[in-house]
């Protein structure tokens, strides 16, 4: 009995030593992995080796993302080559969140035709606002709002969806697309993009585009106190020439003024292009104290365009984009005073 007991004790001791050794090995391996990891390395705790791919139906493109307060990641874009809005929500480890939509994914056909999502924003109440372009006989701003679970917020617009049409200069090919979104106080939604048209009968295929803005109430209805019945179109240059300006970024100043940046004005045949900025009062009127009657253009040469902006704590406006010189494309930045 004593011999058997000694053997059992010996076996237990051996097992304990093996478990301890294994635990030490795992700990050392983890420490070694951490020691080898460097800033900029892929995060191995996210997805597979730091990477995630998601199939939403075919030819899927992501265009914007936001991080929720709980750390979950919301991504929007298009599926079907621009046929529908598409969203996906991920847990912090990169796995799809099954509590969102169907298996973490949502696709939305706005009005039965082509839909392309460009930007999103998270409301303080957790709802998700997505904007881009949609076709409803004509191409216009497309807007949708989702509940936290990925279902459409049917109290917003028409069962969660909104279409906004703009009139444009010229004839034929009229359309509008939203590329930027900002939330104002009281939950109002500001979209910025462009509206344009191609001149019929022009052998060069000459087209024009202007800055286009729209502001919506929390219900999804256009705010008719903003601009002209909720919409604003801003022309750079002369109406008699085919200038092309497109808005790609929007930000709200602390005083509730709206700053919009984009490309142009480009005179077709490549004579002029650069950064374009406009600042608006809270009611949508151009702020004539800014630049030249509310507008500023900065020449970075042909092929340049502004695509993003941020407002510093001191109020200065930083704008980023691209510039091209002799076929070489580079980052381009500019900073503007506000007083």
**Mind listing the pLDDT tens digit for each residue in 142-152?**
999 999 999 99
d(CA 195, CA 170): 11
Residue 228 forms part of a structural domain: yes
259: Cβ–Cβ under 8 A, 6 or more apart, which residues? Answer: 250, 251, 252, 253, 277, 278, 279, 280, 309, 311, 317
The answer to whether the CB of 249 falls within 8 A of the CB of 180 is yes
Residue 20 forms part of a structural domain: no
Q: What is the per-residue pLDDT for 20? A: 56
Residue 44 forms part of a structural domain: no
- Residues 22-50: what's their mean pLDDT? 74
> Residue 217's closest CA among 145, 119, 169, 295?
145
128-165 pLDDT, tens per residue? Answer: 999 999 988 888 999 999 999 999 999 999 999 999 99
Please report which confidence band the pLDDT of residue 269 belongs to, taking 50, 70 and 90 as the band edges: very low
Please report which confidence band the pLDDT of residue 32 belongs to, taking 50, 70 and 90 as the band edges: low
> Residue 316's closest CA among 330, 334, 295, 299?
334
d(CA 133, CA 195): 11
> What proportion of the chain, given as a percentage, has pLDDT over 90?
64
Residue 325's domain comprises: 61-336
d(CA 52, CA 93): 10
d(CA 198, CA 183): 32
Please report which confidence band the pLDDT of residue 175 belongs to, taking 50, 70 and 90 as the band edges: confident
Question: What's the order of all strands across the beta sheet hosting 105-108?
Answer: 61-67, 73-79, 84-90, 105-108
Residue 125 forms part of a structural domain: yes
> Residue 178's closest CA among 170, 160, 190, 161?
190
Q: Helix (H) and strand (E) counts for the chain?
A: 1, 19
Residue 49 forms part of a structural domain: no
- Number of structural domains, the chain? 1
The answer to whether the CB of 319 falls within 8 A of the CB of 309 is yes
> Residue 216's closest CA among 131, 104, 95?
131
Residue 326 forms part of a structural domain: yes
Q: What is the per-residue pLDDT for 326? A: 78
- Residues 264-279: what's their mean pLDDT? 71
Residue 102 forms part of a structural domain: yes
Residue 3: CB atoms within 10 Å: 7
- Residues 24-46: what's their mean pLDDT? 72
78-102 pLDDT, tens per residue? Answer: 998 778 999 999 999 999 999 999 9
Q: What is the per-residue pLDDT for 92? A: 98
- CATH number of the domain within which 287 lies: 2.120.10
Residue 42 forms part of a structural domain: no
């Amino acid at each position: 009995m004593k011999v058997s007991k000694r053997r059992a004790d010996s076996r237990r001791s051996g097992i304990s030593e093996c478990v301890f050794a294994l635990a030490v090995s795992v700990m050392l391996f983890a420490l070694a992995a951490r020691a080898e990891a460097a800033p900029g390395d892929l995060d191995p705790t996210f997805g597979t080796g730091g990477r995630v791919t998601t199939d939403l139906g075919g030819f899927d493109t992501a265009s914007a993302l936001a991080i929720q307060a709980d750390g979950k990641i919301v991504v929007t874009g298009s599926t079907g080559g621009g046929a529908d809005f598409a969203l996906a929500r991920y847990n912090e480890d990169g796995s799809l969140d099954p509590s969102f939509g169907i298996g973490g994914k949502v696709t939305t056909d706005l009005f039965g035709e082509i839909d392309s999502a460009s930007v999103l924003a998270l409301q303080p109440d957790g709802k998700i606002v997505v904007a881009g372009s949609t076709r409803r006989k004509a191409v216009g701003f497309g807007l949708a709002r989702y509940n936290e679970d990925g279902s459409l917020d049917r109290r917003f617009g028409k069962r969660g969806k909104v279409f906004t049409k703009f009139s444009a200069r010229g004839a034929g090919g009229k359309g509008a697309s939203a590329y930027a979104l900002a939330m104002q106080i009281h939950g109002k939604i500001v979209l910025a993009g462009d509206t344009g048209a191609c001149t019929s009968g022009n052998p060069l295929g000459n087209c024009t585009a202007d800055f286009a803005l729209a502001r919506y109430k929390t219900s999804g209805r256009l705010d008719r106190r903003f601009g002209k019945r909720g919409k604003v179109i801003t022309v750079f240059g002369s109406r008699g020439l085919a200038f092309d300006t497109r808005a790609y970024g929007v930000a709200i100043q602390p005083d509730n003024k709206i700053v919009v940046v984009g490309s142009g004005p480009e005179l077709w045949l490549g004579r002029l292009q650069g950064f374009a900025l406009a600042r608006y009062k809270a009611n949508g009127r151009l702020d004539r104290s800014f630049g030249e009657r509310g507008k500023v253009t900065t020449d970075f040469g042909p092929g340049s365009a502004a695509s993003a902006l941020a407002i510093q704590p001191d109020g200065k406006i930083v704008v980023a984009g691209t510039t091209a010189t002799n076929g070489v494309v580079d980052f381009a930045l500019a900073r503007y005073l506000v007083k």
